[in-house]
């Protein structure tokens, strides 16, 4: 009787042990699957990103190593909505909501290269949008100040930009720059006004460079480089026929 009781006890304990082992094995399988899935995703976007840099950026003549290396690194897919992640590295602008767009990768590269960055600069960006251009700049320079007029986009970009501690954001009309932190070594404007805003010229430091598209909505805008040299303001054309969203003048 006693022996039979012991035998039952052993069988019971063994059953529990086997169930436990099976459960643990299953758990680790699930987590292995997750790791594998995440690694696959990472590999996929790294490949997309490298193709983007090789075929859209280097192939079109961008040579600045800092720009190339940074665009290989910053995860552009994290700056767009879930449904657009797989299109994030395509050769075109993408919607970021509120009628606004994240610029085509080549335009981001061209504007960043045109700023002639050395790494020590304090840069002002007008038009935070998704935050992607600000993130690219933050990897290259010392401090980035970025201004967005649409509150929803300002709040949304704050989330992803919290990973970039040298970026400071604000929700106001960027036509007036950001006086509190002026002057800036570089200014980049990612929405097109119909003239170069005087407050931005004033907030550009001596020896500074501003890159800005100017023109009516559509493909008739010109991308300008504005330099402050020996007290003079020199404006040169970077390229014709760019299309940016308009620089608007009211807080939405």
Looking at the annotation, which residues are catalytic?
103
For ligand SAH, the closer CB: 67 or 149: 149
Contacting residue, 191, 211, 223, 242, with ligand SAH by CB under 6 A: 191
When binding is defined by CB under 6 A, the residue of 138, 169, 190, 221 that contacts ligand SAH is 190
Token pair 């989330």: residue: 159
Q: By C-beta, is 74 or 209 nearer to ligand SAH?
A: 74
Looking at the Cβ atoms of 71 and 96, the one nearer to ligand SAH is: 96
Rounded-to-integer distance, Cα 142 and Cα 122, Å: 6
Choose among 102, 115, 40, 38: nearest CA to 74: 102
Q: How far is the CB of 28 from ligand SAH (least distance, A)?
A: 40
Would you state the torsion angle of the CA atoms of residues 189, 194, 197, 200, taken in this order, to the nearest 10 degrees? 10
Minimum separation from the CB atom of position 22 to ligand SAH (A): 49
Among 144, 161, 209, 247, binds ligand SAH (CB under 6 A): 247
Is-contact 242 222, C-beta < 8 A? yes
Instruction: Measure the CA–CA gap between 242 and 188, rounded to whole angstroms.
Output: 15
- Binding-site member from 149, 161, 167, 204 for ligand SAH (CB under 6 A): 149
What stretch of H or E contains 200? helix 198-202
- Strand 204-214 and strand 221-229: the pairing is antiparallel
Binding site for ligand SAH (CB under 6 A): 96, 100-103, 126-127, 129-130, 132-133, 147-150, 153, 173-175, 190-191, 245, 247-249
């Amino acid at each position: 009787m006693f022996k039979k009781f012991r035998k039952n006890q052993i069988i019971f304990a063994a059953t529990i042990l086997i169930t436990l082992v099976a459960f643990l094995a299953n758990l680790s399988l699930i987590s292995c699957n997750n790791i594998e899935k995440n690694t696959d995703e990472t590999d996929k976007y790294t490949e997309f990103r490298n193709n983007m840099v090789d075929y859209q950026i280097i192939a079109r003549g961008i040579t600045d190593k800092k720009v190339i290396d940074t665009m290989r690194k910053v995860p552009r897919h994290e700056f767009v909505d879930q449904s657009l992640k797989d299109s994030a590295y395509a050769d075109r602008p993408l919607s970021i909501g509120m009628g606004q767009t994240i610029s085509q990768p080549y335009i981001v590269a061209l504007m960043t290269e045109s700023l002639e960055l050395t790494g020590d600069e304090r840069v002002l960006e007008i038009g935070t949008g998704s935050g992607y251009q600000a993130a690219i700049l933050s990897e290259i320079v010392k401090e980035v100040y970025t201004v967005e007029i649409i509150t929803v986009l300002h709040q949304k970009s704050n989330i992803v930009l919290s990973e970039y501690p040298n970026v400071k954001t604000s929700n106001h009309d960027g036509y007036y720059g950001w006086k509190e932190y002026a002057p800036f070594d570089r200014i980049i404007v990612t929405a097109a006004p119909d003239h170069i805003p005087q407050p931005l010229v004033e907030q550009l430091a001596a020896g500074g460079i501003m890159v800005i598209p100017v023109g009516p909505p559509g493909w008739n805008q010109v991308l300008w480089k504005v330099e402050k040299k020996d007290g003079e303001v020199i404006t040169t054309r970077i390229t014709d026929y760019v299309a940016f969203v308009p620089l608007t003048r009211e807080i939405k």
